[in-house]
Amino acid sequence: MLKINSLTKKYFTRTVLDNLNLTLNEGKIYGLLGPNASGKTTLLKIIAGVTQPTSGSFSVIGKKAGVDTKKIVSFLPTINHLPRWMTVGNCLSYFQDFYADFDPKLAKERITAMGLEPKQKVSSLSTGMLGRLKIVMAMSRHAKLYLLDEPFNGLDPISREKVLEIILESSQEDSTIVIATHIIAEIESIIDEVIFLKEGQVILMGNVDDLRQTRQKSVEELYREVYDNV
Amino acid sequence: MFNLIKYEWLRRWKFFLAGILIFIIANLEIISQLSLQKSPRNLTIVLMGLVFAMALALFFDHIGRLYRSLFSDEGFLEFTLPLRGYQFLGAKILAVLLECIALGIFVSIALYVDYLYLNQFFPREAPTPLREDILIIIVQIFFLLLLSYIIFLLTIYLSMTLSKTIFASLKHGKLIAFGCFLVIYKAIQRITEITHSHITDMSLPGIIMARPDWLTLTAILIVLFISTSYLLDRKINL
């Protein structure tokens, strides 16, 4: 599904991603874990196409980075990327106009289920409601790769639960979901694989169940062990 | 590409509507004052001031369209759209171009209606009708201004894009990009001066610019458009 070859990203003198190599398979949910400044967001931004790598390359189902990958990658950034002047209904039409894989029927159903109204303005939504709208927009595409950057940031427990529900609903055999977070407890129950990033490099990667069995630890305990000195 | 234009206009239709209404009211006010042979009232001055302020706001809005995409969070939505750099930039420029042409047509129609009104009811106050050759010069000046405006906007767009591409990782990227703007602006000025000095003899009466002048300006526009599109497509760093 996603193949990353020797990806490096430098900001002036600081190296954020350091010769990263990674292969993700389809039909799985990956937890991309790491403390602040470990390179999680930069990696997702590069795959989403909003940042360019200093060197290296990646491909999604064999397609090289560019318009072709943007057609099949759905990105949910941490910040609010939805224009504040738009209504919820405008957001729906916007995604429908630009993404061939957007499912407006599914989006409308989810919007109602999330307690949102098409006439509500994005600027009037609370953080929780905005988080719900963002996840509905990102996950109502039939994308091949979903990149979710801190999807639970600033959300109340009820909103978190609803976001989690949508992520699970959207998990398909022919698609891959990557969730970057440092709130491990929230995603531990739904992830199949885990990737630990540290200083722009993968320091540990594997199947969650295998890691639990071999190390006799939960992912959260493993996280504490790996990043103990960070 | 046309969808982007649709959302550009959907975002600011209230602004356009307000501008059109204020302009019509200001125009009616001026005409009524003229027909009564009175000096402009305070209201007329206020309304004309408002029209001028809105034109200025539109100019800053034209600059802000790419600035918002590059420097605000909305960029994370716009730059993940499956669009190529030239489609993205083309939509922004085409929207500006169409707005300017629509504005030109709207003002021309309003002035023509004013002329018809004055001619019918106050033939003495009505200005003499424009000769065809003067009309051609006015149209040429309009398109020359439009072309120069788009080139100026593209120069600003290129500089802003530089600060989010090549100079994105530098501490003073924005400042360097501003320096680039000054250099590009000066270079364009110099190129147009050189080409103009070589072709002034070719200009004909009634034609404000010879064909090579238009070609030079169009070539500058194309170079600016291609380089900005390329950077937006391949080098963006939000």
pLDDT tens sequence across B91-126 = 999 999 999 999 999 988 888 888 887 777 777 666
Q: Do A75 and B7 touch (CB under 8 A)?
A: no
Q: What is the mean pLDDT of residues A81-98?
A: 95
Q: What percent of chain A has pLDDT over 90?
A: 60
B73 contacts A98? CB cut-off 8 A: no
Residue B200, pLDDT > 60, answer: no
pLDDT digits (tens, 9 = 90+) for A195-223: 999 888 998 899 988 888 888 888 888 88
B6–A83 C-beta distance less than 8 A: no
Size of interface A-B (CB pairs under 8 A): 63
The answer to whether B82 touches A70, Cβ cutoff 8 Å, is yes
Cβ contact, residue pair A80, B73, below 8 Å? yes
Determine whether the interchain pair A52/B236 forms a contact, defined as Cβ–Cβ distance below 8 Å: yes
Per-residue pLDDT tens digits for A131-171? 999 999 999 999 999 999 999 887 888 888 888 888 988 88
- At A151, give phi and psi (nearest 5°): -65, -15
Residue identified by tokens 């922004």 is: B92
For residues A91 and A79, give the distance between their C-alpha atoms in angstroms, rounded to a whole number.
16
Ranges of each domain in chain B: 1-128, 130-238
User: Chain A neighbours among B 78-107 (CB < 8 Å)?
Assistant: 79-84
The tally of CA atoms less than 13 A away on the side-chain side of residue A209 is 3
Residues B47/B40, Cβ–Cβ less than 8 Å: no
CB atoms within 10 A of CB A96: 15
**Beta-strand runs (E) in A48-169:** 55-60, 63-64, 73-76, 145-149
CA distance B150 to chain A (A): 26
Q: Does B112 touch chain A (CB under 8 A)?
A: no
User: Cα(A216)–Cα(A207) distance, rounded to whole angstroms?
Assistant: 13
- The stretch B16-27 carries a mean pLDDT of 88
ipTM for the predicted complex: 0.89
Q: Does B234 touch chain A (CB under 8 A)?
A: yes
Q: For residues A125 and A119, what is the distance between their CA atoms, to the nearest angstrom?
A: 11
The Cα–Cα gap between A114 and B89 comes to: 35
Smallest Cα distance from A168 to chain B, Å: 23
The per-residue pLDDT for range A30-73, each reduced to its tens digit, is 999 988 888 999 999 999 999 999 999 999 998 998 899 999 99
Distance between CA atoms of residues B1 and B92, nearest Å: 9
CB-CB under 8 Å, A77 with B73: yes
- The better pLDDT of the pair B160, B203 is held by B160
pTM, rounded to two decimals: 0.87
**How many residues make up chain A in this entry?**
230
Superfamily name and number for A2-226: P-loop containing nucleotide triphosphate hydrolases (3.40.50.300)
Residue B13 CB contacts under 8 Å (≥ 6 apart), including other chains: none
Burial class (CB in 10 A: 0-12, 13-18, 19+), B152: middle
Residue that the structure tokens 């072309």 belong to: B147
